[in-house]
Structure 1
């Protein structure tokens, strides 16, 4: 049974944890790449999960070659993906609202630590009616090193006024869990597109099927 001591703050990843957006993002990347004649694969898409835009560009350039025109791909992806965000095509993951309701009632601060750039992250959270439910955000364009470096979680803790070691980090990706652990946070993984790698299991990080288990543990 999951046991979570009461945290000073809870820090959430966004894509794949709060929002069921990873599938939409990867489908948008595939559509954009196909339009440019680039050989997109599912494996390439999965390697981008949880990564910052800069790191994604590095991975794509490595896959397609340094001469591949990244800017047209990024522009086409943004057109496709942002239209889907505006259309409300990204649903919430299960038990998000219930967990946020409980944390608010318990007066436990809440922050978001997302690799997504702030402008897009705010638009996605606002479209899902979640933006005002968080006390702070740390975004991919506000740190030098993306996940799995600890920077984004350390910044989120700072902005919510908590010590990293007293925070609970909730993540769906392997790179995100590595970032949270590197920041000395207690972490729980709720897998989405990716299952936990061997090192995540060696860390002893709890792995649960949904945020419901996190809610029950905090209530208990």
Structure 2
């Protein structure tokens, strides 16, 4: 699937790629709207519809991912609420094995996430992901989300990777296409970001069903 002799740097998304997206979906589609709705006398469906409309208006911006933005908008401590489903945070299968193998193979492992810093730090503490990474990049520190075309030259200038010898693994089609347009030479899209949801199909992108596919066969 990948000719590793052509890869020096591996850029890895977090939510839906290294971590199961079930946690985020449960939080944003169930827990947050239910809690917010209960405080305003709204049912889950109505509260979810309101929050979804607000989210769609900010899609493709850092606000979409920013807990401070949502806390102010909803008048709710979203970061604190975020910790209440901590038991659902989990690594996707074979993630530790894959990251350990990359390190042993001399590949640079860089986490690149749109996650807000508070959520990022919380998930790193829960999972120990930092153990297997060489660098952790939060898109908020570069002032652009990964979907933005200008994000990629900013990241490349900071990290100094060769785009042609770089692999990006992500679950977001818009991110992958923006990276492809910039010149990232190798792309893989996660087929099933949420272990309890249906797989996605992206006909213009190579799909990865399991990290086991990237590990050497023994």
TM-score bucket of the superposed structures, by smaller chain: 0.7 to 0.9
- Per-residue deviation at 1:117? 2.0
Give 2:79's aligned residue: 78
Instruction: Report Cα offsets for 1:175-197 as digits up to 9, x if no partner.
Output: 22123223321110013257245
Specify whether residues 74 and 12 from structure 1 end up closer, same or farther in structure 2 by C-alpha distance, changes over 3 A only: farther
Q: Is residue 174–residue 196 contact of structure 1 (8 Å, CA) maintained in 2?
A: no
Give 2:163's aligned residue: 164
- Per-residue deviation at 1:141? 1.3
- How large is the RMSD of aligned CA atoms in angstroms? 3.4
Kindly report which structure 2 residues correspond to 1:173-192, keeping only aligned pairs within 5 A, or say none. 173-185=172-184, 186-191=186-191, 192=193
Give 1:120's aligned residue: 119
- Per-residue deviation at 1:154? 4.5
TM-score after normalising by structure 2: 0.74
Mark the runs of 5 or more structure 1 residues left unpaired by the alignment.
62-68
Give 1:8's aligned residue: 8
SS of the aligned residue for 1:3 comes to: coil
Q: How many residues align?
A: 199
SS of the aligned residue for 1:39 comes to: helix
- Per-residue deviation at 1:90? 0.3
SS of the aligned residue for 1:40 comes to: helix
- 21, 28, 33: which is aligned to 1:30? 33
Give 1:149's aligned residue: 148
TM-score after normalising by structure 1: 0.73
Mark the runs of 5 or more structure 2 residues left unpaired by the alignment.
none
- Per-residue deviation at 1:155? 4.6
Structure 1 stretch displaced more, 124-133 or 140-149: 140-149
Specify whether residues 75 and 4 from structure 1 end up closer, same or farther in structure 2 by C-alpha distance, changes over 3 A only: farther
Specify whether residues 47 and 72 from structure 1 end up closer, same or farther in structure 2 by C-alpha distance, changes over 3 A only: closer
Give 1:55's aligned residue: 64
| Counterpart Cα distance in 2 of 1:154 and 1:80 | 35
